[in-house]
Chains A and B, each alone.
Chain A
Amino acid sequence: MYGRKVKLRFLFVVIVLITLILTTILVLKSLEENIVYFQSPSEIKSLTEIGKSKIRVGGMVKKNSISISSNKVNFIITDFKNEINVIYSGAVPNLFAEGKGVVAEGFLKDRNFFSATKILAKHDENYMPPEVKEALGEK
């Protein structure tokens, strides 16, 4: 009924559609699994349940809160309303200091305790991550 060319074109369109749909599904699924939410200490305080997925916590490193030993670094992230204890064993970025902004990535143990797997570097002393600025500005 239809010519070979029409059939071929139809097949082509179908293949393209299928790949598009597959791609979308793949991407969305992967996004769902791999996005990391950013939360401030106050937001964590108000959580009803502790999720198992990786999150980021941002705020200021509290004054006199850094303590360091041979295999870990402990410190407190504060947004001047609430604070959270962080335990971390890994490389510390250059601009990690008390009274400066920080973003830590890792897992929540409970509402007061965060186990970080990564502390994010920033490149400029004047620069504050927008997330942190916003988290601090909410007070």
Chain B
Amino acid sequence: MIYSLVGYYSLILGLIIGLSLFYFSYKNFNNSNILDTKILSFTFLQLFFVIISFLCLIFSFVVSDFSNETVFNNSHTTKPLFYKISGTWGNHEGSLLLWLLVLTLFIFLFLVRTKNQPVKYKILTLVFQQIIIVGFFLFLIKTSNPFNYIFPIPTEGLGLNPILQDPALAIHPPILYLGYVGSSIIFSSVLAATSLKIISTSWASHIKKWILISWIFLTLGILLGSIWAYYELGWGGFWFWDPVENVSLMPWLALTTLLHCILVLEKKSILTSWVIILSIATFTLSMCGTFLVRSGILNSVHTFANDPERGLFILVFLFILIFLSILIFFFFHKDNDRKSSSFFWLSKETSILINNWFMMYFLSVVLIGTVYPIFLDVISSQKISVGPPFYHKLMIPFLIPFLLMMAIGPKLRWIKSQLKDKTYLISFFIISILLAFLVLKNFNQNILINTILISSALYLFFITLRDFFVKKYKNISQNISHFGFSLLILSILFNSLFSSEIITNLKIGETFENSKTKIVFESVDQKKEKNYNAIIGNFLISNHDGGEDRFSPQLRIYNQPVIATSEADIKTTLMSDKFIVINLVQNQDFFNVRYQVKPFMLWIWLSVILISLGGIVSLLKKDNEK
């Protein structure tokens, strides 16, 4: 009760501080060369109030205060404490409060950590960030207040969707949000820098840190979501081209492109327009993602409530932000690249630029695939969906030059370069093709495209691997990420080519057998837990070559709300995952059994970790130099 009250008024106070910050910024902007301490302390105060509000919501969840509507809708007394807490952001209102928390946290850190930049720039960044923050305050208070009362007070809550009761998903939203919302600070500071015309190499190295932070969290956030989908949704895949996954991939693509552009800007002071456009695009795409997911237009776990008012609010807010940024871009941005704009075709910046074009292409493919069905529904009320073949067909062919460029690009020098004494480049290329052919020679399906794909991924793999030994610590961060990327593509390719799957319906005691595998469904156990009842199937699966494994996948029936979920049993080894999931079709004796062998699953996760590790190394290196 008291928590809701405190939480709500903290939000109001935070909003008021946000508004007052405009005034202080205005005063400070015109007549001072140092940052007003009032601004700093008010920004801190705002952060403080949002934290208080957030803690209040967490406490309401912990003590199961069902007078709070959000808690009532999303919690239950029998839930383990961990999921009571994670339930805080497992719903619409709470997750928006988390958005706000990250927004205020980032601007505060930005003000504290930014040194050697003009005061006006810092103030203007604050102003732009406050526009976003105030917008979200209004959104939260007006359409999705997390502290609404209900009366009479219910004695029990409705519970959290069981598939969200999972460790990976408990930390997935905060990590992803740090990435998503982290891009807001890039957006604000780019607008500020554009207005003040201070985009330069020193600004680039200052903003690069923020891009890296946002990028690392976004990468890890997507990874966590993907791992969760793999073991919880029971399909045994890691990426489904589901609209909700796509909306997180789009900002990632834009952010990755931006990261490469900023490197060029840092070194060569060119591509400024690109940097501005990409920064705006990244944040806009993050907002779009929030809009699409929150408005109920997309169907997914993330669609908490279908409230058109919320969708409309975000949409209007989004348009205001886009309009503002386009205005600033056109009125203030003067392209002053002229002095060094002599591009030579064989140079590092050209190769980065070309790959940026490829990434923009991938981005537009994902964008069209995600938005087109919505668009068609609105104009012709025809219901369609766009499946994975669409994405695969349009992306895979372009992955080949993309990978090759990634391998050769870093070998080139800035401005102008020649490829001489690079016999190893060619010999690696031949080795890759031979190796790919050797692996696939007994494979009769699409051998040509697969061989080319695998050879180009192998090529990148070898080139980056060689650099670890030859170049040692030079460019190590970039090398780690590129190496991780080649590993990712290789693992995905091998995974999709060599996965096998058996789907069958079995009664207890029955056996399924084909030429390779024998599945014995031995028995069923029952287990009673605090928040669910489980049916555990006992399976003995043997391969024809002698390997034998015991599996015990579960079917859980949660009590609040009553939902059945399948808990897959996964045996992970270095080379492959064995994955089994069962399901009971109602009132029947048959269990629906799905058994998959998925090679290199572990490597997919590891390679994404490697990719983000590259970012972390780059971030730490930057700090040490100062």
Hey, which bits of chain A sit against chain B, CB under 8 A?
19, 23, 26-27, 30-31, 33-39, 54, 56, 66, 68-73, 89-98, 121-127, 129-131, 134
The answer to whether the Cβ of B13 comes within 8 Å of any Cβ in the partner chain is no
A91-B583 contact given A19-B357, A70-B505, A121-B233, CB 8 Å threshold = yes
Once bound together, how far apart are the Cα atoms of A19 and B586, in whole Å? 53
The answer to whether the Cβ of B475 comes within 8 Å of any Cβ in the partner chain is no
A91-B594 contact given A27-B365, A66-B585, A73-B585, CB 8 Å threshold = yes
Q: Is the interface of B mostly helix, strand, loop or mixed?
A: mixed
Contact, CB under 8 Å: A35 / B585: no
List the B side residues contacting A126 at CB < 8 Å.
561
A91-B503 contact given A31-B372, A123-B300, CB 8 Å threshold = yes
List the B side residues contacting A125 at CB < 8 Å.
561-563
The answer to whether the Cβ of B506 comes within 8 Å of any Cβ in the partner chain is yes
Once bound together, how far apart are the Cα atoms of A51 and B581, in whole Å? 34
Contact, CB under 8 Å: A92 / B585: yes
Listed from nearest, the 8 A-B pairs whose CB atoms lie closest are A38-B383, A34-B390, A91-B594, A92-B592, A123-B301, A68-B590, A35-B384, A97-B586
Give the shortest distance, in Å, between B206 (CB) and chain A (any CB).
30
List the B side residues contacting A69 at CB < 8 Å.
505, 590
Report the number of A-B residue pairs with Cβ-Cβ less than 8 Å. Answer: 115
Contact, CB under 8 Å: A130 / B585: no
CB closest residue in chain A, given B386: A35
A98-B385 contact given A30-B394, A91-B503, A129-B299, CB 8 Å threshold = no
Residue in contact with B590 in the complex, picked from A70, A123, A124, CB distance below 8 Å: A70
Give the shortest distance, in Å, between B16 (CB) and chain A (any CB).
37
Contact, CB under 8 Å: B504 / A71: yes
Hey, which bits of chain B sit against chain A, CB under 8 A?
161, 163, 233-235, 299-301, 303, 357, 361, 364-365, 368-369, 372-373, 382-387, 389-390, 393-394, 503-506, 510, 512, 561-566, 581, 583, 585-588, 590, 592, 594
Looking at B233, B299, B368, B512, the one whose CB has the most chain A CB atoms below 10 A away is B299
Once bound together, how far apart are the Cα atoms of A90 and B563, in whole Å? 21
Give the shortest distance, in Å, between A131 (CB) and chain B (any CB).
5
List the B side residues contacting A124 at CB < 8 Å.
161, 301, 563
27 contacts between A and B (CB under 8 A): A23-B364, A27-B394, A31-B390, A33-B389, A33-B393, A34-B386, A34-B390, A35-B372, A35-B373, A35-B390, A36-B384, A56-B383, A66-B585, A66-B586, A68-B590, A68-B592, A72-B505, A91-B235, A91-B503, A91-B594, A93-B234, A94-B583, A121-B235, A123-B161, A124-B161, A124-B563, A127-B303
List the A side residues contacting B504 at CB < 8 Å.
70-71
Once bound together, how far apart are the Cα atoms of A118 and B118, in whole Å? 58
Contact, CB under 8 Å: B583 / A92: yes
Once bound together, how far apart are the Cα atoms of A26 and B373, in whole Å? 17
Residue in contact with A31 in the complex, picked from B368, B583, B585, CB distance below 8 Å: B368
Contact, CB under 8 Å: A95 / B563: yes
CB closest residue in chain A, given B304: A124
List the A side residues contacting B383 at CB < 8 Å.
37-39, 56, 131, 134
A37-B384 contact given A66-B588, A89-B503, A94-B234, CB 8 Å threshold = yes
List the A side residues contacting B503 at CB < 8 Å.
89-91
Once bound together, how far apart are the Cα atoms of A85 and B369, in whole Å? 30
Once bound together, how far apart are the Cα atoms of A39 and B135, in whole Å? 40
Give the shortest distance, in Å, between B37 (CB) and chain A (any CB).
49
Given A23-B361, A38-B385, A68-B592, 9 other A-B contacts at CB below 8 A?
A: A27-B368, A35-B385, A35-B390, A73-B585, A89-B503, A92-B585, A95-B564, A124-B161, A125-B563
Contact, CB under 8 Å: A34 / B372: no
Give the shortest distance, in Å, between A108 (CB) and chain B (any CB).
16
